């Protein structure tokens, strides 16, 4: 069924094969506007099932309403003809299964980001009335440390007897909920079980229900407890609740957001520090619907290493709009901080140069000296006025006014203590250095 590179499928031009899954072959492709997308061409046995395709066609419009940074949105679909296909947002990254297999378990703040991102993805999927039903490490793509869930809704939509008989296994043993294995139905609770199993694998590097034949793994899912040894202490209670056998007692995705801090406060795991004292918890809880405490310190313990040493993890909550205590900046925060630094360097550096030039021209060309100071002062005052109206930029206004006052003070000091010749030599040296820097850069 493999499609050659460069072939056109509808309005899409296939570029290369990304991989093959249980339901189809995925290709990197270009849409008519030249944007990269992922095109999944359904396997022949799936395409031959009219009932499954009809169900998928009904689900596509619902799936297209799922939006969020942690889901690969369905953009288009063509379910008629010899080769039906789905088009989703292309996510460049590595599957969680490959990351864990190659780099080992996910730890620390990366594990927190993974848990939060998966919870946010499930909230978006379930809010649209879609059930993923095949959440597993291979269906989670990590891009810049953030997870993106792919293939949501496809397993549920293609759940039909003829498709299963044709060879497609609906779901992965060890990540399917007990109710799916026993054939008693599936709902949003099913995804919560898969969420717990996927995070357990990410945190430990082991499949929580072991390996082996699908029947053996399925038996362990239904009748045995998951292997959570090595899961951090802050995460283990959450996974135990998600991996409960009874669907009704599992938490919903929105509750996970509250627990993991993605719906307002964000839980950030600090670097573990060896400690042997008892568990200490200091929690300021919200009461009567009020906002939670701005900062919440919780000392948590986890068993560390083969020696079983007790360690303490400190987590903090932060309110929306405040930077996480981990110190990581978003791209927008980084750009804003960079702009502030560049502005400060430019204003101060220009002020120093203008002061030196004005002081040099003070005796032979007093009009030029005053003109330089006047122009610099006007520019900084205008910039300060703009910052004053933009209330969040008051530090910028202080830099502008301070630089203008400093330039005048420096001009007066240089003119009073140094001769015109000395200032001219200094100015020539500064200009030569600046020109050399520009040429070198």
Annotated binding residues for ATP, written as ranges, equal: 40
In Å, what is the CA distance from 20 to each residue of 8, 17, 42, 139, 278? 19, 8, 10, 12, 50
With CA atoms as reference, report the closest residue to 240 among 230, 253, 226.
226
If you search the block for the tokens 């909920």, which residue do you land on? 177
**85-89, strands of its sheet edge to edge:** 8-9, 12-20, 24-30, 36-42, 85-89, 74-78
Would residue 134 show up in a list of annotated catalytic residues for this protein?
yes
Angle between helices 253-260 and 108-127 (to 10 degrees): 150
First-to-final CA distance of the chain = 53
Annotated binding site: 40
How far is residue 183's CA from residue 249's CA, in Å, rounded to a whole number? Answer: 19
Q: Where are the alpha helices (DSSP H) in 128-252?
A: 154-157, 161-165, 178-181, 188-204, 214-223, 236-242
What tokens appear for 103 in the block? 């780099």
Collapsing DSSP to helix, strand or coil, 147 comes out as strand
3-class SS shares of the chain: helix, strand, coil, % to 5: 45, 15, 40
In Å, what is the CA distance from 2 to each residue of 19, 40, 393? 10, 11, 56
Which of the following is catalytic: 49, 109, 134, 159? 134
Looking at residue 292, what DSSP letter applies?
A: P
How far is residue 248's CA from residue 142's CA, in Å, rounded to a whole number? Answer: 30
Helices and strands of the chain, counted as H and E runs: 15, 13
Specify the long-range contacts of residues 245-248, CB closer than 8 Å, at least 24 apart.
245/178, 247/177, 247/179, 247/187, 247/189, 247/190, 247/193, 248/189
Residues marked active site are found at 134
């Amino acid at each position: 069924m493999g499609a050659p590179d460069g072939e056109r499928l509808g309005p899409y031009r296939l570029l290369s094969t990304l991989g093959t899954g249980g339901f189809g072959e995925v290709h990197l492709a270009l849409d008519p506007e030249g944007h990269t997308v992922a095109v999944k061409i359904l396997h022949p046995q799936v395409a031959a099932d009219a009932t499954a395709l009809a169900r998928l066609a009904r689900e596509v419009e619902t799936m297209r309403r799922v939006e969020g940074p942690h889901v690969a949105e369905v953009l288009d679909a063509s379910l008629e003809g010899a080769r039906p296909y789905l088009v989703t947002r292309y996510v460049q990254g590595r599957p969680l299964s490959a990351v864990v297999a190659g780099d080992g378990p996910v730890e620390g703040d990366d594990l927190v980001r993974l848990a939060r991102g998966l919870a946010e993805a499930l909230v978006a999927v379930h809010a649209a009335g879609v059930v993923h039903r095949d959440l597993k490490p291979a269906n989670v793509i990590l891009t810049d440390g953030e997870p993106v869930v792919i293939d949501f809704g496809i397993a549920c939509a293609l759940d039909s007897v003829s498709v299963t008989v044709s060879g497609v296994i609906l779901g992965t043993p060890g990540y399917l909920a007990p109710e799916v294995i026993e054939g008693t139905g599936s709902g949003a609770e099913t995804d919560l079980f898969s969420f717990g199993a996927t995070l357990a694998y990410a945190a430990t590097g082991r499949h929580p229900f072991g390996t082996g034949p699908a029947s053996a793994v399925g038996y362990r899912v239904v009748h045995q407890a998951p292997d959570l040894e090595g899961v951090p202490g802050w995460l283990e209670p959450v996974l135990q609740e998600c991996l409960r056998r009874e669907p009704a007692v599992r938490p919903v995705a929105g509750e996970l957001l509250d627990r993991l801090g993605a719906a307002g406060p964000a839980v950030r795991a600090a670097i573990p520090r060896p400690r042997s004292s008892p568990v200490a918890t200091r929690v300021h809880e919200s009461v009567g619907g009020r906002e939670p405490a701005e900062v919440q310190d919780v000392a948590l313990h986890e068993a560390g290493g083969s020696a079983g040493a007790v360690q303490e993890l400190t987590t903090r909550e932060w309110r929306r709009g405040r930077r996480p205590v981990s110190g990581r900046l978003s791209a927008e925060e980084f750009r804003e901080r960079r702009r502030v630094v560049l502005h400060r360097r430019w204003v101060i550096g220009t002020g120093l140069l203008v002061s030196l030039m004005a002081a040099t021209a003070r005796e032979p060309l007093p009009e030029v000296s005053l003109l330089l100071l006047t122009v610099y002062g006007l520019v900084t005052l205008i910039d300060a006025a703009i910052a004053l109206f933009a209330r969040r930029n008051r530090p910028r206004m202080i830099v502008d006014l301070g630089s203008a006052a400093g330039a005048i003070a420096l001009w007066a000091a240089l003119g009073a203590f140094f001769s015109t010749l000395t200032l001219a030599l200094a100015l020539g040296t500064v200009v030569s250095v600046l020109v050399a820097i520009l040429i070198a850069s």
